[in-house]
Amino acid sequence: MHTDTVKQHAVVIAGGGPTGLMLAAELALAQVDVAIVERRTRQEVAGSRSRGLHARSLEVLDQRGVVERFTSQGQAVQNVAFGQAPLDLSDFPTRHNHGLALLQERFEGILAQWVGELAVPLYRGCEVTGFAQDDTGVDVKLSDGRVLRAKYLVGCDGGRSLVRKQAGIGFPGWDASISYLIAEVEMTGAPEFGIRRDEKGTYAMGPQGDGRVGVVLREEQVNTGDAPTLEGLREGLVALYGTDYGLRSATYLSRFTDMTRQAASYRDRRVLLAGDAAHVHSPMGGQGLNLGVQDAVNLGWKLAQVVRGVSPESLLDTYQAERHPVAARALRKTMAQTALSRGDARMDAVRETLTELLRMDGPRKQYAAMLSGLDVHYDFGNGHPLLGRRMPDLDLVTADGPRRVFHLLHAARPVLLDLGEPGTLDVTPWEDRVRRVAARYTGAWELPVLGAVTAPVAVLIRPDGHVAWVGQGTDQGLREALTRWFGPPRAT
């Protein structure tokens, strides 16, 4: 199939939702030839989907210098909760000590515009229908008959991922135990806005803009097959509220369940998975979009280095090693949140007890950091508390003037931040890959939950903002960390 008529790219991404778009941006910043295949002809999202971003997602967008594009279109909110207990982030040591209320349609539109500025080609109006991989790449078949040749294929094609299925990757987990109708409707009556919880479960209505009403109803019977209907929605409203409030029409009508599954492997040779293709769960807690965006930021720089021949293919194994446990934990917590949504008196007692616990500072901080993504800790071995965690966005003084740490990450390149005596850390064999920045910082080093930590003399920061090495006065372990993450030293 290797003919001149086959279009070639280094990486092909199946799916142009939030995860696929973010991954494309990361690869484009790393100067990798990446293309997206997206079945939608325009970047529009049906219905409600995700309603916002958590704090760590705002941080990763800030690391790339684009966060203001999103914050200018949304509203800062304290959007983290567990059960009925709101979890305030406002005392957390981050510039983004809050979430952002922003509908997925708007989020995707802004992200797609950025990806367009990065000149990423999009094959719109078609989808991946199959692929065949060999030792040097993947032939990707499209629904319009074209074939793309890539070194790697990444499935960002959602919970029913064709890429995952055709790669033969298992998707173990739990079947649905509950189903909800979700709709945007027009009504002639005056609906009762707010969240209700009783023996029939949790259900809600709220204003959606343009006179429409957003509705979320638990179904009496778990339904995973039949397409939802307006008549079924009407029956649900009458059963729960005693009236359909003059329901006229629905501009959006869908169903979600608490089915919870995770890919057994995030990679099969030259095929990888990210976002919903790798993990699905109940939308309670708003974890899905945020997990996908952070999958992309973890994978992008690694895939770029392997494609460019800087790092061995084994670097891709760290993607699953790091991201699989993060998603597994999020899946367990969304299962717990779904159980807490049940409306009987016994579960009321559980909710009350949890709310009391989560009013305490320690549990509140722990759960708020976990649900907002600020506590992610990759296991790079023992050492300084910063190792494997997100780098704080410190205000630095550099030779070029004041700089924030996140400013140094805009190009998606690794940074060695040297805060000690100049000239003691030598990265010459990696200077084509790693940017060395000498700086001064006075002030506390503080992490969510852990609080103040000992100030390091130097830190090696990966492009995803996680700390790969901490220097405490010597260069011990620096060469090993540089080689592990950014490839072998260049011959001098």
Cα–Cα nearest to 1, from 161, 157, 173, 133: 133
User: Which three-class secondary structure state does DSSP give residue 361?
Assistant: helix
Q: What range defines the domain where residue 204 resides?
A: 179-257
* Residue 197 within a domain: yes
User: Which sign does the torsion angle of CA 446, 471, 390, 29 carry?
Assistant: positive
* Residue 143 within a domain: yes
- Statement to judge: residues 312 and 441 lie in one domain: no
In angstroms, the first-to-last Cα distance of the chain is 41
* Residue 187 within a domain: yes
Last residue of a domain, one of 257, 287, 311: 257
* Residue 383 within a domain: no
* Residue 68 within a domain: yes
Task: For residues 252 and 184, give the distance between their C-alpha atoms in angstroms, rounded to a whole number.
Answer: 5
- Statement to judge: residues 149 and 186 lie in one domain: no
- Statement to judge: residues 149 and 37 lie in one domain: yes
- Statement to judge: residues 120 and 269 lie in one domain: yes
Estimate the crossing angle of helix 104-117 against helix 18-29, to 10 degrees: 20
Last residue of a domain, one of 372, 406, 438: 372
Strands 122-124 and 34-38: parallel
* Residue 379 within a domain: no
* Residue 385 within a domain: no
- Statement to judge: residues 40 and 153 lie in one domain: yes
- Statement to judge: residues 332 and 423 lie in one domain: no
Residues 6+ apart with CB under 8 A from 25: 64, 111, 114, 115, 118, 120, 300
- Statement to judge: residues 53 and 114 lie in one domain: yes
- Statement to judge: residues 42 and 142 lie in one domain: yes
* Residue 389 within a domain: no
- Statement to judge: residues 58 and 192 lie in one domain: no
- The 8-class DSSP code of residue 220 comes to S
Measured from the Cβ of residue 308, the count of other Cβ atoms closer than 10 Å reads 14
pLDDT digit string (tens) for the chain, length 492 residues = 444 468 999 999 999 999 999 999 999 999 999 999 999 888 666 555 556 899 999 999 999 999 999 999 999 999 888 987 899 999 999 999 999 998 888 899 999 999 999 999 999 999 999 999 999 999 999 999 999 999 999 999 999 999 999 999 999 999 988 888 888 899 988 888 888 877 777 788 888 777 888 888 888 788 777 788 898 898 889 888 989 999 988 888 888 888 899 999 999 999 999 999 999 988 777 778 899 999 999 999 999 999 999 999 999 999 999 999 999 999 999 899 888 877 778 888 998 999 999 999 999 999 999 999 999 999 998 889 999 999 999 999 999 999 999 999 999 999 999 998 877 788 999 999 999 999 999 999 999 999 999 999 999 999 999 999 999 888 999 999 999 999 999 876
Residue 96 token pair: 């983004």
State how many domains the chain has.
Answer: 3
User: Which three-class secondary structure state does DSSP give residue 20?
Assistant: helix
Contact by Cβ (8 Å): 219, 179: yes
Last residue of a domain, one of 210, 226, 257: 257
Cα–Cα nearest to 131, from 272, 5, 262, 300: 272
- Statement to judge: residues 149 and 283 lie in one domain: yes
Q: Find the CATH number of the domain harbouring 136.
A: 3.50.50.60
- Statement to judge: residues 246 and 289 lie in one domain: no
Q: Find the CATH number of the domain harbouring 413.
A: 3.40.30.120
Q: Give bridge partners of residue 93 from the DSSP assignment.
A: none
- Statement to judge: residues 293 and 323 lie in one domain: yes
